[in-house]
Structure 1
């Protein structure tokens, strides 16, 4: 069980690190968008590749931090049932949700996007806009990053649930434990 706790901690650290790094892209998005607006309205000019850049940075950031959002419980959930639940019940709900919904969803995302992304790589696809950015295939590859980080965090959630259900929650650091209603809100 301590090996499982180590895996849960490692995945949490990885997604936490990735989330903290990719969150800085939001500053880049704001700066690039501000530059585009200044160019357009003060200098009556526009660089199409810069317009592509802030949209692409936005897409990369949101796909890359999806696992971080899941780690922090920042995703949408029907709290009317989950919030008042006991820790054991939360663990059962999470384990069921990961196995029945989340991991199959990640598999389907990878399965159905594989051809789409690989075709983009084979074409060396770039922006559809004249003068736009090259390398759209890199952005499309973030679909795999999304599915990977969400699946990894799902495995960590399942591991956390198994530890709780087996009575070994003390192996988890405090920030990865379930909270009772009213705690940490």
Structure 2
């Protein structure tokens, strides 16, 4: 069990670091959106690359920050039953949810997205706009990175739930 606890802590640290860095994208998005409004209404300029960078930033923030949100238990949950359970009951729900719902869904996303992402990489897909960003293939790669990060964080959370169940069973 000490190895699993150490693994869980390492995964948590990894998710926290990624979350810390991608959180700065929120500030970039606000500033870029402000710059676009000024460029459009003051100078009459449309900046396609800047518009796409806001979209890319949002995708990065959402898809790379999801594992950190999971680590912090920040995802939406219907607490009708969960709140009434004992800590042991909550640990069972968490363990089952991670092992039988979240991880299988993420594996499905990973498997179903692979060909789509590989196709984008094979042509180094870029923006449809001539002045857009040439990195669409990198953006689509988030469809692979997102489920991997979520699986890792879900494993960490499942380990913590199993440790809690073992500790409460020993009492």
TM-score w.r.t. the length of structure 2 is 0.95
Please report how far the alpha carbon of residue 165 of structure 1 lies from its aligned counterpart in structure 2 after TM superposition.
1.0
Does the CA-based 8 Å contact 2:88-2:168 persist in structure 1?
no
User: Is the partner of 2:84 in helix, strand or coil?
Assistant: coil
Tell me: CA distance 1:120–1:73, structure 2 relative to 1, closer, same or farther (3 Å): same
Cα RMSD after superposing both structures: 1.3
TM-score w.r.t. the length of structure 1 is 0.88
Deviations along 1:114-163, one digit per CA (max 9) or x if unpaired, are: 01101001111011223111010101111112101111111011101110
1:99 aligned onto 2:99: yes
| Greater displacement, 125-134 / 34-43 | 125-134
Matches within 5 A, 1:108-147: 108-147=108-147
Deviation >4 Å, runs of 4+:
none
Q: Say how many residue pairs are matched.
A: 169
User: Is the partner of 1:74 in helix, strand or coil?
Assistant: coil
1:56 aligned onto 2:89: no
Aligned to 2:81: 81
Which blocks of at least 5 consecutive residues in structure 2 are unaligned?
none
Which blocks of at least 5 consecutive residues in structure 1 are unaligned?
170-185
Please report how far the alpha carbon of residue 61 of structure 1 lies from its aligned counterpart in structure 2 after TM superposition.
1.1
Aligned to 1:26: 26
Matches within 5 A, 1:170-185: none
